[in-house]
A and B are shown apart, each in its own frame.
Chain A
Amino acid sequence: MFDGREPIYLQIADRIRAEVLDGSLQEGDQVKSTTQYATTYRINPATAAKAFAELVDEGVLHKRRGIGMFVSDGARDQLLAARRERFFAEVVDPVATEAQVLGIPIAQVVARLHEVEAARAAAHGEERS
């Protein structure tokens, strides 16, 4: 379940973010309680509470007193915007650096991306037909 390296509260927070992004958690949905986290995953409830606190600060979750934690309106858009920003810094920029180290022209990298996209579109089309 948790890989034992990163602090667990970060892993819990990441998982909830991922579930909001892929739609398995919808805006307005209730998330598992700290008690459920503690008993399901054998973790200290304070650890889950710490993850929730971080997500509340980010505006992804909000607390309804006496009921529990819920996914906030606009949480998905907000996470998407943050992810897109990070995508360029963490994924695209290192590709440019690595390509330069390996002596691959950027145009070739771009061409490859177009190929991948075309192949994917074709596969998608077949699936539909």
Chain B
Amino acid sequence: MSFAVRAEGLTVRYGRTTALEDVTLELAPGTVHGLLGRNGSGKTTLLQTLAAFRRPSEGRVLVDGEDPWENPRVTQGVCLVRESGDVLTDLRMRDNLAYYEGIRPHFDRELAGRLMDTFELDPARKPSKLSRGKKSAFGVVVGLASRAELTIFDEVHLGMDAPSRFAFYDALMADYVEHPRTIVLSSHLIDEVQRLLEGVVILDHGRVLLSEEAESLRARGVSITGPRDAVEQLVEGRTVLRRQHLGRTTQVMLDGALSTEERTQAERLGLETGPVDLQSLFVHLTERTTEGATR
């Protein structure tokens, strides 16, 4: 009931623009994955390729072991919900739900009804008449109730207010634990979604910057604060994501955890160490590659 996803040397070009370049990654089935990246990093192109809305220029994608392109068995199990819903905008929502029930083999009508109530959506209205946030909410209803083997939410939170977003996260987790399936969530709101994720993929300039377990990513960065000389002595030869000076005090953010010896050394030098949250790690990892590209 869950699709595994694989991309091998995936490259997608639009004319002269390369949106994805040599992307190789694997998404384990039955897991919630986060796809993070700055604007223009290639997230949407990757998700569209998985959902067979686009074809690779080079390389390939495999969904449940097969190329999804013009593959009805696979595409009926892949549900991509983009901002503002991805639904039939000029049909009443009631008729939309009937349509999706017809094309999605695991569609749960009862769940759809409950979610319509949660998001205060009137089935007699048409999505085209709704606000941006309500359209997105209806996309969420269709996406969750479809129970597709691979369910993709691409920036679906856009326009949704905070209570609706949290209602979405609650509904997602509640239904996922009952019916585990492969879920991909792309979002800029890292703080909000990070706890929902088991895997994290960060795209940057069309390439995979990292693909890791969310929990190990949270333990990955470390910040060190103390007198400048002592800090520099400790971090010599390490990848420093960020360095700040305040008077004689320096704070650095390192990529990678401290070894036991480094930890002991930090204590001996009287340095303060602390974790780095996923949001800051993301900002500084992607900032660094931007700097690298312009130099």
With an 8 A cutoff between CB atoms, is B74 at the interface?
Answer: no
Give chain A residues whose Cβ lies under 8 Å from the Cβ of B215. 7-9, 47, 50
Q: Give A8 Cβ to nearest chain B Cβ, in Å.
A: 6
Check A6–B198 contact: CB distance below 8 A: no
The answer to whether B177 touches A5, judged by C-beta atoms less than 8 angstroms apart, is no
| Interchain Cβ contacts within 8 Å, total number | 53
- B198 and A44 contacting across the interface, CB-CB below 8 Å: yes
Q: B177 contacts A42, CB within 8 Å?
A: no
Question: Which of B166, B169, B215 gathers the greatest number of chain A CB atoms within 10 Å?
Answer: B215
Q: Do the beta carbons of B174 and A44 come within 8 Å of each other?
A: no
Interface of B is mostly: helix
In-complex Cβ contact of B191 among A4, A43, A46 (8 A):
A4
Question: How far is the CB of B276 from the nearest CB of chain A, in Å?
Answer: 8
- Interface check A45, CB cutoff 8 A: yes
Q: Are B173 and A38 in contact (CB under 8 A)?
A: yes
A residues 1-45 near B (Cβ < 8 Å) are: 2, 4-9, 34-35, 38-39, 41-45
Which of the four size classes fits the interface of chain A?
10 to 19
Q: B residues touching A (Cβ–Cβ < 8 Å)?
A: 31-32, 166, 169-170, 173-174, 176-177, 191, 194-198, 214-215, 218-219, 274-275, 277
- A residues with CB within 8 A of B: 2, 4-9, 34-35, 38-39, 41-47, 50
Known: A44-B198, A45-B173, A46-B31. 16 other contacts (CB 8 A): A4-B191, A4-B194, A5-B275, A6-B218, A8-B195, A35-B177, A38-B176, A38-B177, A39-B173, A41-B195, A42-B169, A42-B173, A42-B195, A44-B173, A44-B197, A47-B214
